[in-house]
Amino acid sequence: MANIVTNIINPHISVDCVIFGFDDDNLNILLVDRTLKEKKTDHIIFNDFTLTGNHIYEKEDLNDAAHRILYDLTGLKNIYLEQFSVFAHPERLSKPNDKLWLINQGKDPESRIISVGYFALIATNNVTLEWKGRNVDWFPINKIKELAFDHNQILNSALKALQTKLLNEPIGFELLPEKFTLSQLQKVYEVILGTSLDKRNFRKKVSRMKYLIPLNEKQKGVAHKPAQLFVFSREIYEKTKRNVFDFSI
Amino acid sequence: MANIVTNIINPHISVDCVIFGFDDDNLNILLVDRTLKEKKTDHIIFNDFTLTGNHIYEKEDLNDAAHRILYDLTGLKNIYLEQFSVFAHPERLSKPNDKLWLINQGKDPESRIISVGYFALIATNNVTLEWKGRNVDWFPINKIKELAFDHNQILNSALKALQTKLLNEPIGFELLPEKFTLSQLQKVYEVILGTSLDKRNFRKKVSRMKYLIPLNEKQKGVAHKPAQLFVFSREIYEKTKRNVFDFSI
């Protein structure tokens, strides 16, 4: 991260983070409540949700901005974070509610803002959430309806990027606690890929992953027969991953 | 592409294209001459090279801008083009020559411009180049020295993105003429990955690619024994590519 950052906001560029979390059952997304109220009566004009995002500072690089936004929200510093695409459609902020919201925020709804999309992977239960006095919460990805701005498009694009990445690198571990079971790992693959996987084939694949280390330790406090726990070793993964000669064309 | 675009320039956002070409021997990059001369004497103050890029228009989306820039340069419309990263470091335009150049162009060298990076793949010999009265030419990637702005960083980042893509998808064909030999295909892999590959292993891999169609036709006008020609079938590739169940973790 940058050491010193002056906090003058760049009005043209923002960062939006699609924050994925996993709770043993669902792939969840962190959303921020966007409620517009009439000032005098407190009557709710509309109520919907946005991804977590903000403008970058003038002297700040993009990755620093994305880390800052996540840190403000979660208090966590070493989160898996990846830039995946840029969203710049000239009409991306022009739905009626978006214009109302921007005007209410003292912004020109006609001015163009492009947004750089990041996705983050968080083990849901590790996090206490705060976001500048606004409500934030986790929502199962398959229950998310129309979001603010172009945020459905950003979300879909992030999910595709995550799926591609998961098929090429062992990043599913970022969504799990340090010690996990093979059933939890399989569920991570299933919720991200949106499909169910055959348990036997999955275990066969998994048995070839040298970077998946079995522990001499089992689950505690579960109703069913406790399963063996595993950890992911990034060090062994880095040492054993395919080199370029072994290309799969 | 957008149908109607008003040509007001967005001063904050640009697109830079790393254009890769292949000439049977080298991986080449298309560069634009940046020569700054003293106005009165025509004395050359400095002379270096940039990637091909420009600002986006206010009413134009990013992909449209990238396609427009490539079309202006090559006259070609259906070029393989992919967005790979964003470059936004606050100091990215602040080398002494960059500042001089910007001032000479009537621009404020302190104003911040972020650039969206694309890479393009072109079969070199298909193209007649023109670029608004400036010199453009192909340079072998391993002979490129210090470029303008942060363009070395953009180039390196594009090469990494191309390497990753090549190991996961058959995109090397975009750099070849429609009909090609297996030696040409191997060379494409070698120059992009920056390594030499064993011919026998390569042929073995290739024999499993159902989307590589042998023709009843050989090279013409070559000094050596003419080799068999092949074409790439995107249709067969799309039909036979791995589905998500067959994941390689």
Q: How many CB atoms are located within 10 Å of the residue A137 CB?
A: 12
Chain B positions in Cβ-Cβ contact with residue A59 (cut-off 8 Å):
90
- How high is the pLDDT of residue A125? 66
pLDDT digits (tens, 9 = 90+) for A11-26: 999 999 999 999 989 9
Residues A141 and A44 in one domain: yes
What mean pLDDT do residues B167-186 have?
Answer: 92
Domain of A60, in residue numbers: 9-176
- Say how far apart CA A134 and CA A207 lie, in whole Å: 45
Cα angle value A66/B51/B137 (rounded, 5°): 165
- Say how far apart CA A87 and CA B61 lie, in whole Å: 9
User: Are B89 and A61 inside 8 Å of each other by CB?
Assistant: yes
Residues B61 and B124 in one domain: yes
Q: Could you tell me if residue B247 is inside a domain? A: no
Residues B159 and B221 in one domain: no
In A125-235, DSSP assigns E strands to 136-140, 212-218, 228-232
User: Are A112 and B58 inside 8 Å of each other by CB?
Assistant: yes
User: Are A62 and B86 inside 8 Å of each other by CB?
Assistant: yes
For residue B225, what is the domain's CATH number? 1.10.10.10
Q: Which range, of A118-127, A185-194, B153-162, B199-208, averages the lowest pLDDT?
A: A118-127
User: Are B88 and A163 inside 8 Å of each other by CB?
Assistant: no
Q: Could you tell me if residue A1 is inside a domain? A: no
* Number of domains chain B contains: 2
Q: Which range, of A73-87, B85-99, B117-131, averages the lowest pLDDT?
A: B117-131
Residues B149 and B47 in one domain: yes
Q: What 3-state class would DSSP assign to B246?
A: coil
Chain B positions in Cβ-Cβ contact with residue A163 (cut-off 8 Å):
244
Provide the chain B residues 25-84 that lie in CB contact (below 8 A) with chain A: 56, 58-62, 83
For B115, the closest chain A residue by CA position comes to A86
Residues B28 and B104 in one domain: yes
Q: Could you tell me if residue B4 is inside a domain? A: no
Strongest mean pLDDT among A159-163, B3-7, B74-78:
A159-163
**CA atoms within 13 A of residue A119's CA, in its CB half-sphere:** 24
Instruction: For residue A90, name the pLDDT band (cuts at 50, 70, 90).
Output: very high
Query: Domain boundary at B166, B191, B206, which?
Result: B166
- In a mutagenesis test of the B interface, which of A16, A82, A114 is the best target, namely the one with the most B β-carbons within 10 Å? A114
Residues A14 and A82 in one domain: yes
For B166, the closest chain A residue by CA position comes to A249
How many H-runs (helices) and E-runs (strands) does chain A carry?
Answer: 6, 9
User: Are A249 and B56 inside 8 Å of each other by CB?
Assistant: no
Q: How many CB atoms are located within 10 Å of the residue A217 CB?
A: 12
pLDDT digits (tens, 9 = 90+) for A158-209: 999 999 899 888 999 999 999 999 999 999 999 999 989 999 999 988 888 8
Query: Domain boundary at A155, A176, A197, which?
Result: A176
Residues B110 and B151 in one domain: yes
Residues B127 and B210 in one domain: no
Query: Domain boundary at B142, B166, B190, which?
Result: B166
User: Are A249 and B209 inside 8 Å of each other by CB?
Assistant: yes
For residue B26, what is the domain's CATH number? 3.90.79.10
What mean pLDDT do residues A234-248 have?
Answer: 70
> Which residue among A13, A89, A209 places its CB closest to the CB of B114?
A13
Residues B38 and B160 in one domain: yes
Provide ipTM, 2 decimals. 0.85
pLDDT higher than threshold 70 for residue B5? no
Residues B161 and B184 in one domain: no
- How high is the pLDDT of residue B246? 52
For A5, the closest chain B residue by CA position comes to B90
Tell me the nearest-neighbour CA distance from A226 into chain B, angstroms. Answer: 25
Residues A223 and A116 in one domain: no
Check if A128 contacts B (Cβ < 8 Å). no
- Say how far apart CA A115 and CA A89 lie, in whole Å: 10
User: Are A114 and B13 inside 8 Å of each other by CB?
Assistant: yes
